[in-house]
Amino acid sequence: MKQYKLVLEALEDLEHIADWGWEHWGEERAYLFIQSFYDRFEWLVEHYELGRKREDVHATNKEIRSWVHEKHVIFYQVLDSHIEILGILHSKQDVLKRFEIPSER
């Protein structure tokens, strides 16, 4: 069975979401909202193929997929042993800017 792993940037995204939720909703609702992301990650492990293929995102040399969760978008790639959560962006954030590949100089 596959598992999921979060890259550092995805963990930082969750931290920012939690901070925002705590400030605007309070501890309990913020906790429940963050838990809903972890529940969705577990679901994606079993249904990874349902995510939208993102040909516009080239963060790695693997195919990137995304799944909308509430007002956020979860970006991930499927590897042999797990799915890797690359980031969690609010729907108003600039996806291409976040995942642009630095140009070689």
pLDDT tens per residue across span 19-74:
999 999 999 999 999 999 999 999 999 999 999 999 888 766 788 999 999 999 99
User: What is the band of 1 on the pLDDT scale with cuts at 50, 70, 90?
Assistant: low
Q: Tell me the C-alpha distance between 89 and 97, whole Å.
A: 11
Q: Report the topology of domain 3-98.
A: YaeB-like fold (3.30.2310)
Domain ranges of the chain: 3-98
Please report the beta strands in 1-105, taking only residues with DSSP state E, as ranges in sequence order. 3-6, 52-53, 64-69, 72-78, 82-90
- Give me the pLDDT at residue 104, please: 47
- How far, in Å, are 8, 40, 47, 63, 72 from residue 60 at the CA level? 15, 22, 21, 8, 21
pTM > 0.85: yes
At 25, list the tokens.
């909703």
